[in-house]
Amino acid sequence: MEFSSKLRTRHPTPDTRHPMSVYALTALLALLFFILYPPPCTLASSLSFPEQFEAFDMPGDGGGSIGLSWRAASFDEPTLRYQVYMADQAQGPFTRIVEFAANTHYKSDVDRPWWSWDRNRAYHFYQMKSTQDLRLESGKSYFFKVAVTDGMQTIEGPIRSAIPEPNLFNLAKANNFLLVVFFSTLVLIAIAKAKRHPNIFLRRIPGLDAVEEAIGRATEMGRPILYLTGSDDMSSLSTIAATVILGQVAKKTAAYETELKVPHRDPIVMAICQEIVKESYLEAGRPDAYRDDSNFFITSDQFSYAAAVNGIMLRERPAANFFMGFYYAEALLLAETGAGTGAIQIAGTDADLQLPFFITTCDYTLIGEELYAASAYLSREPVLVGTLRGQDLGKAFLLLSTVIGTILATIGGLAGTQAFVPLLQLFRDFK
């Protein structure tokens, strides 16, 4: 009985039956912690200085910019940081300019076209730009170095120098140059064709077809024709177009012996219009009918000019009013007064804010680029007709390119492919 009771007393308790399982579990957890969170000395021992580090003048800029590139390392990760230093001398002192994560700033991140930039993700890239706080002078040498750090250890790379200089040609805009050459060639070919075949078809513009009708009505009624060239000076394209149309209108008034009145608010525009009208009367074979006072200056003030022109409309009751060129807030005042006198009114402007007023109060309105096409439509001059034809071909090409580019971009987005990017970049404007 004693022997058996002793045996029962020596039987191990459940807590100490398998002590090795607790030690194994502890060792396994320690191993996992070591793998997931290595000590700093293990990570630092794998660092090395940035390889193939280069400093160079940025191509295609106006100076004041330097590019830095170095090869991406196998240990690049968000916990590591790259530091960029700059100095005026090779001996220093160096100033830290920027610090960023080691898995950012690649050459492939730069928004430049494929024909002027190596979009390579195997290299880091950072661009030093001249700012208010950091001035990079053209023609002066600057020294740079890049360091990599993990917070415990910092390793610096070699020192490189570069000189920022302005460039004569921006290769990133070479596609713009090619498009200009292409469109210019289209225009020249169209002009040559217009000289060989004068009867090139031009779309009918009702407002210009009504020009002769308006001049004929003024002749029958014995009333003058009022022609306005807008409120801008000769630097405006719409003013230039208005003066060209004035020359064609003056030829018809000379042929019909109709009085022409052209009030101005800019003396330079007045002088040019005087020569244009005089030349038109000479071409029409009626130089004796030309009058110098057909072009006259009123005032450069906006609403004083509008009030004076409205007074001319109410006193002399012109049979036809032409509003060509660029207009501001005076557009409705002029056109509404002319409509109240019962005159035929023909307007043409590229001022989109004033178009609703002209469309409402005038009999015919030339909208936007129809103003520029009017001179070619009226004169049938081969150079003007060919230029208009070439521009239309260019716009048709751009429209077709837009449709095709939209389709390719949509397919690329749905398929997740970059295969169409090189083609689409041909029609982008890069800085």
- Domain borders along the chain are 54-162, 171-190+386-427, 199-379
As its CATH architecture, domain 54-162 has Sandwich (2.60)
Query: Which 3 state secondary structure label does DSSP give 295?
Result: strand
Q: What is the pLDDT of residue 178?
A: 94
Asked if pLDDT for residue 133 goes beyond 90, the answer is no
3-state secondary structure of 217: helix
State pLDDT tens for residues 280-329: 999 999 999 999 899 999 999 999 999 999 999 999 999 999 999 999 99
pLDDT at 9 over 60: no
Calculate the alpha carbon distances from 189 to 91, 197, 203 in Å.
62, 12, 20
Above 70 in pLDDT, residue 37?
Answer: no
Do residues 378 and 179 touch, judged by C-beta distance below 8 A?
no
pLDDT, average across residues 167-172: 90
Quick one: average pLDDT of 22-45?
59
- Residue 321: per-residue pLDDT: 96
Calpha distance 148→145 (Å, rounded): 10
Alpha-carbon gap, residue 96 to 289, rounded angstroms: 80
**183 bridge partner residues:** none
Closest to 214 measured CA to CA, from 289, 341, 322, 291: 322
Between 324 and 29, the higher pLDDT residue: 324
3-state secondary structure of 133: coil
Report the chain's C-alpha Rg in angstroms.
Answer: 39
Which secondary-structure segment (H or E) carries 4?
helix 2-9
Distances in Å between the alpha carbon of 46 and those of 49, 52, 136? 10, 18, 35
pLDDT at 25: 66
Q: How far apart are CA 40 and CA 394, in angstroms?
A: 64
DSSP string, 49-118: PPSS-EEEEPTTSBSSEEEEEEEPPTT--TT-EEEEEEESSTT---EEEEEEETT--BGGGS---TTT--
Instruction: Tell me which residue of 114, 356, 393 sits closest to 347, measured CA to CA.
Output: 356
Domains 54-162 and 199-379 share a fold: no
Please calculate the CA angle 364-365-367 and round it to the nearest 5 degrees: 155
**Range name among 1-5, 51-55, 132-136 with the lowest pLDDT average:** 1-5
pLDDT of residue 421: 87
Question: Quick one: which H or E segment has residue 321?
Answer: strand 320-324
Say whether the peptide bond before residue 93 is cis (omega within 30 degrees of 0).
yes
Q: Which of 5-9, 38-42, 195-199, 285-289 shows the highest mean pLDDT? A: 285-289
Pairing of strands 81-87, 142-149: antiparallel
**Lowest pLDDT segment from 93-97, 339-343, 374-378, 414-418:** 374-378
pLDDT given at position 48: 84
CA distance 304 to 173: 47
Sign of CA dihedral 144, 145, 146, 152: negative
Per-residue pLDDT reduced to its tens digit, 400-413: 999 999 999 999 99
With bands split at pLDDT 50, 70 and 90, how would you rate the model's confidence at 70? Answer: very high
Q: How far apart are CA 85 and CA 99, in angstroms?
A: 9
pLDDT value, residue 235: 92
Kind of pairing between the strands at 364-367 and 344-349: parallel
H helix or E strand, kind and range, residue 361: helix 355-361
pLDDT of 14 strictly over 60: no
- d(C-alpha 44, C-alpha 71), whole Å: 19
**Which CA distances in Å does 399 have to 175, 198, 246, 307, 396?**
17, 27, 32, 44, 5
- Phi/psi at 129 (5° precision): -115, 150
Pick the CATH number of 199-379 from 3.40.50.10160, 3.30.70.60, 3.40.50.1820, 2.60.40.10: 3.40.50.10160
pLDDT of residue 38: 54
Examine the pLDDT at 130 and tell me if it is beyond 50: yes
This prediction's pTM: 0.68
CA distance 225 to 253: 8
- Within 10 A of 365 (CB to CB), how many other CB atoms are there? 23
Q: What are phi and psi of 47, to 5 degrees?
A: -70, 150
Residue 354 confidence (pLDDT): 94
Q: What's the pLDDT at 44?
A: 43
Q: Which residues make Cβ contacts (< 8 Å) with residue 222, sequence separation at least 6?
A: none
Instruction: Say if residue 182's pLDDT is above 80.
Output: yes
